[in-house]
Structure 1
Amino acid sequence: MRTVTKAVIPVAGLGTRVLPASKAIPKEMLPVGDKPVIQHVVEEAIAAGITQIILVTRSGKEAIENHFDAHYELEAELEIKGKIAELASVRNIQPPEVEIVSVRQPRALGLGHAVLCAAGIVGDEPFAVLLPDVLINRKITDRHPADMAGMMQAFAREGTAQIMVEPVPEAHAERYGIVDCGGASLSGGDAHPIRGMVEKPPQGSAPSNLAIVGRYILPAQIMQLLKTTPRGAGGEIQLTDALAALLEQMPIEAYHMHGKSYDCGNKLGYLQANMVWGLQNPQTGNELRAFLERQLAEE
């Protein structure tokens, strides 16, 4: 089975859900803990075995590309001052074996269109898609790999396209894309065939409580389908519509994640992610926990 080595990360969005913070700064550059959101996502992809990252970007997002580029003046200054830890933190952002390239999305025509913009680099290979405003948190154990790595393993077994899902409260299903697995009960690490997908189903009509997280492993054929996918919700080319067409041609599996996702594209999810990553950081965890306990006690 062919190994997945390429990942498409669409970063051309306007970030309207986190305005005014994203007015002059790309939403992907907002920090969670001591790293911008985009660095967390790129590190997740690299840890899963990806060696080429394709950023689908637009004008005004140069800060993202600059973040992964070398900064010789900063590195020289840190080296002179003997700040070894800080120097390592900026030098190791992009490992030497990993290539990061950019393509432009000339118009904001939806996630499906953004993925299609990377078709020339993807070629005829299977590839991953990671949404840059979704972070996945889980303590990795010897028993279970990280969720992205686990989904890559599920793809490698049969070559079946994968969509990562997690359970959400049934009352909130109307907020998400929901997969139909025919009533099957899934747990962490399970991959199960999908019967269909529903985007934001009306309350009480969802076929399951399994929401699409924002991580995909897809065959190259999806690009041909995206070329002919008509504009859907919001007048945009929707990846979900192309996936529905792909499902008519070949099986797609839902991969049930072990961890928990945090949507940093909205203000509450972004704040929650900062709390979680701050509490898990050994440099800040104890003091942050004590601070939060004091705050709660005072209310």
Structure 2
Amino acid sequence: MDPVKTVRKAVIPVAGNGTRFLPATKAMPKEMLTIVDRPVVQYAVDEAREAGIEQIVFVTGRNKQAIEDHFDDAPELVSSLTRSGKTAQVSELADMLPTAGSVSFTRQQAPLGLGHAVWCARELVGDEPFALLLPDMISYGVRGCLAGLMDLYHTAGGNVVGVEQCAPEDTSKYGIVGKGAGVPHGFTVTEMVEKPQPSAAPSNYYLNGRYILQPEVFDILAHQSRGAGNEIQLTDAMVTLSESQPFYAHPYEGRTFDCGCKHGFIEANVAFALARDDISGLVFDSVRDMVLSHEGRIRAA
């Protein structure tokens, strides 16, 4: 294994049904729900491109055509915008459009878990290390989380995971890693435990949905038994891989919003709106007034 082999490809699994957002996701992929004015999945792609990724592999499922259309050219729309003199929108669409051949799609025919979704990308990834970004988890900071993982990977090689700290009493909600010796941009991972009780957790560092993995994980996933939820779990495969390869963790200096749940989705909309020069003032005033009004109703009750 070459520890400094370039990471060129990223896998983004988008096959989930999004049942927690019904009825909004009845006819629209959950990944196309918008954070302000950009779909959730666009944030993952932008983060991958910022980190130097050249090829995006989407693992899709049924009713995901809108994602493919989003990353395709729209000549009729561009022509209409051009005729209307909306040059800023034309430029923004051009910046978002992937270069020809840089995006691929493969199907996960059955919902067998994240590990199975990653395994479905094996032929398109090939025998090289790859990044994995869970699109529901949106990075918010000076730069995306994957760029930090790349920094660590370039110095240490091996496999790298993104982590953040949760409240010690919340470890049972997450995959948790054990913290070992420090390395540039992170630390060594001593163990990985799925949703441990606080009394058994090796730390309060949780996996935040960003990974750089070596291709040997595909062979493990091919024979991985089903785990929690009767699904093929990626964490189980990573635990097996860690028996023969090192794992490192990069603590993200920003914040990750879990847009797979409603409160995280709403928090992300507020945070990204407040970061926008064009609408931050209006949003701040509106949110402040709503909070004060809500507090007043609580006190009156």
Secondary structure at 1:164's aligned position in 2? strand
1:115-141 CA-to-partner distances (Å, cap 9, x unmatched) read 00000011111000000100010024x
Aligned to 2:151: 153
Distance 1:71 1:16 in 2: 29
Across the aligned residues of Structure 1 and Structure 2, the Cα RMSD in angstroms comes to 1.5
Aligned to 2:59: 56
Comparing 114-123 with 97-106, which one deviates more in the overlay? 97-106
Identify if the C-alpha distance between structure 1 residues 246 and 234 changes in structure 2 by more than 3 Å, giving closer, same or farther.
same
Distance 2:250 2:288 in 1: 36
Identify if the C-alpha distance between structure 1 residues 213 and 98 changes in structure 2 by more than 3 Å, giving closer, same or farther.
farther
The letter of the residue matching 2:43 is H
Aligned to 2:137: 134
Distance 1:293 1:269 in 2: 19
Aligned to 1:181: 179
| Contact 1:51-1:98 within 8 A present in 2 as well | no
The letter of the residue matching 2:175 is G
Aligned to 1:221: 216
Distance 1:42 1:2 in 2: 21
Q: 1:65 aligns with which of 40, 63, 68?
A: 68
Identical aligned residues as a percent: 43
Comparing 88-97 with 59-68, which one deviates more in the overlay? 88-97
The letter of the residue matching 1:73 is E
Q: 1:237 aligns with which of 232, 236, 241?
A: 232
| Contact 1:75-1:91 within 8 A present in 2 as well | no
Secondary structure at 1:173's aligned position in 2? helix
Identify if the C-alpha distance between structure 1 residues 185 and 175 changes in structure 2 by more than 3 Å, giving closer, same or farther.
farther
Kindly indicate whether residue 289 of structure 2 is the aligned counterpart of residue 291 of structure 1: no
Aligned to 1:143: none
Distance 2:176 2:186 in 1: 15
| Contact 1:177-1:198 within 8 A present in 2 as well | yes
Distance 2:129 2:64 in 1: 27
Distance 1:221 1:269 in 2: 33
Secondary structure at 1:181's aligned position in 2? strand
Q: How many residues align?
A: 291
- The ranges of structure 1 where at least 4 consecutive aligned residues each deviate by more than 3 angstroms after the TM superposition are none
Distance 1:202 1:252 in 2: 23
Aligned to 1:275: 270
| Contact 2:148-2:185 within 8 A present in 1 as well | no
Aligned to 2:190: 195
The letter of the residue matching 1:271 is I
Structure 1, unaligned runs of 5 or more: 141-145
What is the deviation of 1:296? 2.3
Identify if the C-alpha distance between structure 1 residues 251 and 185 changes in structure 2 by more than 3 Å, giving closer, same or farther.
closer
Identify if the C-alpha distance between structure 1 residues 40 and 8 changes in structure 2 by more than 3 Å, giving closer, same or farther.
same
Distance 1:67 1:97 in 2: 14
| Contact 1:126-1:218 within 8 A present in 2 as well | yes
Structure-to-structure mapping, 1:26-105, within 5 angstroms: 26-96=29-99, 99-105=102-108
What is the deviation of 1:202? 2.2
Structure-2-length-normalised TM-score: 0.93
The letter of the residue matching 1:199 is E
Distance 2:149 2:101 in 1: 20
Secondary structure at 1:92's aligned position in 2? helix
1:231-285 CA-to-partner distances (Å, cap 9, x unmatched) read 1111111000000000001110111111110000000000000000010011111
Aligned to 2:199: 204
What is the deviation of 1:98? 6.9
